[in-house]
Structure 1
Amino acid sequence: MKITEVRIHLMGEDRLKAFASVTFDDAFVVRNMKIVEGTNGVFLCMPSRKLPDGTHKDMVHPINQEFREYLEENILKAYEEELKNQSVGKTQEESSGYNKDAQ
């Protein structure tokens, strides 16, 4: 299974940094993966639902460590790229005097 697209939606909250949607083989998408800030840096959380007892259960998850690493590596790389693009965009706005909120 090959990742063919990763979309990142930055959140900018204290712990929740972004949501990710991943398309596999141009045929199957998994939405609502979370990129979360932990004590050892950012990590990936699978989409989950809250159970009546208050715990959470993953709706999807990798079956083996090799695929988990492949998934995390590609999603976190896309996240870092999105952060870089956002930073470049802000720098260009500041240097040009552009203020999107003023419109």
Structure 2
Amino acid sequence: MITNLTVTRLNEPRSNGIVGFATATFDKTFTVNSISIRQNQMDGNLYVRMPQRRTQNGTYIDVCHPLSANTRNELNRLVLDCFNKNQKSYTNLEEQFSTNRQGVSVSAQNCVKYNTAETQSNVLGRMDLVVGDMVIHNAKLYANANGEPQLSLPSYKDSKGDYHGIVIPTDKSAFQELRNVAINEYNTEYKYLECTPNEMKALKENSNLRIKTKELNNGNIAIKFNAKDVAKINDIIQKANAVNNSITR
């Protein structure tokens, strides 16, 4: 949910079509800077682009973006509405009367761990943080001077060499929650298993475990799960196969 928004018009459009910038706060948890408002040079229409970073292969990807079309459409609508009306800010008035962030889900995924000895860096790993209907890519954990893990959210370096935050937590408690989720994901060991559709059905019916799935070309399903749940998952699968074998005999 977009709780606050500020829009800045440029006095003159830039050569790349940028006519303004926006800053948006989502779910009272984090703020995204450097959202650009651009004009299509072919038809003159305005559109919104989330901040991007350049990958090693030269392509550009969004640093942070909505997961659903509804949230993206709402962000586009609010930003362009403010811009066209020359309105500098938008505030979700209903949300101003809410003093907590209850109901906002925060999770981490796609964690990549680094070998600090090989990389000769204090960066422990990177991952995606999902807050509500928004995903923050390339959040990093690094070891501070005391060896404790700290969270670093996406930023950019200007021509003077100074760093500026692209994604900024709204307050200390929001940052602490994001940090705790990131550390927990980094410390979690995962297991992988290939299941038949019948085994997957049994897992869904007999547990509320957090399992991620991917369909395979052979018709089976690859699952990713917390290593601490391996005994329970194996037990469910074994019982499902025993029942299936007794039926087919």
Matched with 1:80 is 187
The separation in 1 between residues aligned to 2:124 and 2:141, in whole angstroms, is: 6
Q: Note if 1:7 corresponds to 2:110.
A: yes
- Counterpart of 1:39 in structure 2 is 145
Q: What's the secondary structure of 1:61's corresponding residue?
A: strand
Q: Which runs of 5+ in 1 are unaligned?
A: 87-103
**1:56 corresponds to:** 163
The CA distance in 2 between the partners of 1:42 and 1:6, in whole Å, is 17
1:8-62 CA-partner distances (Å, limit 9, x unpaired): 111223311101201122x210011111111121100111111110011110011
Q: Which protein shows a greater Rg?
A: 2
Any unmatched runs of 5+ in structure 2? 1-103, 192-249
Task: Report SS of the residue matched to 2:109.
Answer: strand
Distance 2:108 2:140 in 1: 16
Cα distance between partner residues in 1 of 2:125 and 2:166: 18
Runs (4 or more) in structure 1 with deviation over 4 Å come to: none
How far apart in 1 are the matches of 2:111 and 2:123? 12
By how many angstroms is 1:4 displaced? Answer: 4.0
Instruction: Work out whether 1:23 is the aligned partner of 2:130.
Output: yes
Letter in 1 for 2:141: I
> CA separation of 1:19/1:5 partners in 2, compared to 1, >3 Å: closer, same or farther?
closer
Q: How many residues in Structure 1 have an aligned counterpart in Structure 2?
A: 84
Q: Secondary structure of the equivalent of 1:30?
A: strand
C-alpha distance in structure 2 between counterparts of 1:18 and 1:12, whole Å: 9
Give the letter aligned to residue 16 of structure 1.
Answer: V
% of aligned pairs identical? Answer: 17
Matches of 2:106 and 2:170 in 1, distance apart? Answer: 16
Higher helix share: 1
The CA distance in 1 between the partners of 2:107 and 2:150, in whole Å, is: 21
| Rounded Cα–Cα distance in structure 1 between residues aligned with 2:167 and 2:140 | 13
1:89 counterpart residue number: none
Cα deviation, 1:60-84, whole Å, max 9, x if unaligned, reads 01111111111111111111114xx
TM-score (norm 1): 0.71
TM-score (norm 2): 0.31
Asked if the contact 2:108/2:181 (under 8 Å) is kept, the reply is no
2:122–2:142 contact (8 Å) kept in structure 1: yes
| Contact 2:108 2:182 (8 Å CA) reproduced | no
